[in-house]
Chain A
């Protein structure tokens, strides 16, 4: 390797110390610094969304609505949904890990459009702040789905402002998607053919396809709600001559694929971590790569499964139900292939790997319950109950957050040059897993028993299950706060990581940690398949990676 590597203790030139004024951060066009800006922002919004979740679970501790009024409860769960989905789950992995890693993994110096990248952060912040402002100024009570005619004709809350916020955030993600697509097409290092790309890149490519082809639709749809609201034009409200189901068609045309915007990047992380900590090639690399693309395409054919009880044509319902079963196939392919990758591997249960194991369990439960919901008849019973709430939390929160935390720990040494403390990181992973299941598993039972979602009072006999769920939230809260502390602590006190503490394959590990501003001293040349773990025994890297075997904590 022709890369200059810092000796432990020596302060090398890198992207972090390339300038320390606020201005140098706010006007940076370095994808790695923008990733850090996003890291800070999504963490803040996650904290806001998390506090709102705590409020919801606090209210639901007792059968009576004694903590807040119905109106306020509506505002709280709506803002929780809006903040978590638009400001955390959608941008978390692509904008933080993707931004940092896509150029490194393809051997480029930056993304194709660095200034567009910075613009995307500003647009995201503007949208986020507008939504937050709307929340402080009266809030919204429509639910994160903004269904008209309630949102367009009846709600007296800050619908227009929130929609403008969501609209802007949508454009921020379009910018990121365009940047990834062009970078992956045009800027791969010599020798890096499509089938030598890491699966993380394939996942981000598929995600970008969904973003670019889906997000404009939801952006315009939300804008149409605002137009109907402000100018009283009849688009969705039947009283004005509109079609009430049209909104749901347009909204879910984006929002079903959007669930894959959240989960596909996580799946990319899972593939990387599993290969590394099993020391094996990903089983069926081509299948895993193409399943990402298949998900991106087929994901656009199933939106009607959110509309089985709306008065949508029964025939359309049947078609959508059938297609929904198809979309489960590529996800299952991935799970089978990951399992096969671990089979007979040399598995090492580091913290990222624990999150991956958690991901697999939660994703399977979440995915299989999707099949209950995709069946017309069972959905009639389960629609708009806590069963749906549990389903999408298992799959989105379980999937995305576990993937995000796995990736954050896995690449933390690359991003910061320091190791996180292994012991406490493992403990946090276990707490989060336990807290997660305690929070959301009872919700499947509640939903099956008939507890509707979005209500803040309920019959007494369901209290026990609600108490379990709220207790789980407390545990989950502790679990999420821990990484904030020990990761910050590691910035100063963590062991030095060296360029490749895990002995992993992939171009990102062939440069310094933290990387220099231009990523590589010279353009790398790729001569190998990805995940060639069996080819070399990595001993040289493992031995020199000071951090790997001597973590503190």
Chain B
């Protein structure tokens, strides 16, 4: 199609995939377990669940999506995507968490 594409692909042993799969299952169990922590730790629960979710996403991106074996350019773009997602979350949550702070008459 064009000048000298990099056609070489890294072959990942099945074992690695299985290991990642097991790790994802363990993290899943951890998420569910955290939800049953005694008491009403809504905030703590959210932090734990999000942390685990990020770990799972990183595993999927690195191994199942092959970013770990890709060029630095792919790394750059994968991190940029992540960084952009963080921008979206932080600014949106910034609104969400401060929305009710200012008492406005007639507004519950």
Contacts and interface: CB of A to CB of B under 8 A. Distances in A.
Interface of A: 108-110, 112-114, 185, 187, 209, 212-214, 217, 243, 245-246, 249-250, 253, 300-301, 303-304, 307, 311-316, 319-320
B9 interface: no
A313 B101 contact: yes
Contacts of A109: 2
Q: Is the interface of A mostly helix, strand, loop or mixed?
A: helix
Given A108-B2, A301-B91, A313 B81 contact: no
Contacts of B3: 187
Contacts of B69: none
Given A213-B84, A249-B95, A313-B96, 6 more contacts: A187-B2, A213-B81, A243-B96, A250-B92, A307-B95, A313-B102
Interface string B59-89: 0000000000000010001001100100110
B95 to A, nearest CB: 4
B81 A312 contact: no
A313 B2 contact: no
Contact of B94 (A245, A253, A316): A316
Given A213-B80, A314-B102, A301 B87 contact: yes
A316 B98 contact: yes
A253 B88 contact: yes
Nearest to A323: B91
Interface in B31-77: 73, 77
Contact of B1 (A114, A250, A303, A316): A114
Nearest to B107: A311
A249 to B, nearest CB: 5
Contacts of A187: 2-3
Given A185-B73, A213-B81, A313-B101, A110 B2 contact: yes
Nearest to B99: A313
B84 A300 contact: yes
Q: Is the interface of B mostly helix, strand, loop or mixed?
A: helix
Given A108-B2, A246-B92, A319-B94, A312 B80 contact: no
A112 B92 CA distance: 36
A313 B94 contact: yes
B2 A312 contact: no
Contacts of B92: 246, 249-250, 253
Contact of B95 (A112, A300, A301, A316): A316
B91 A316 contact: yes
A246 B99 CA distance: 12
Nearest to B87: A300
B95 A313 contact: yes
Given A187-B3, A213-B81, A213-B84, A315 B98 contact: yes
Nearest to A243: B96
A505 B45 CA distance: 60
A524 to B, nearest CB: 14
A122 B95 CA distance: 39
Contacts of B73: 185
A209 B101 CA distance: 36
A202 B77 CA distance: 17
Given A110-B2, A187-B3, A300-B84, A312 B99 contact: yes
9 contacts: A187-B2, A213-B81, A249-B88, A300-B88, A301-B91, A313-B97, A313-B98, A316-B95, A316-B98
Nearest to A29: B1
B88 to A, nearest CB: 5
Contacts of A243: 96
A506 B84 CA distance: 34
Contacts of B107: 311
Contacts of B102: 313-314
A250 B95 CA distance: 13
Q: Name which of B96, B97, B107 has the most chain A CB atoms within 10 A of its CB.
A: B96
A246 B92 CA distance: 8
Contacts of A253: 88, 92
Given A213-B80, A213-B81, A213-B84, A315 B94 contact: yes
A469 to B, nearest CB: 35
Contacts of A314: 98, 101-102
A315 B81 CA distance: 26
A393 B91 CA distance: 28
A251 to B, nearest CB: 12
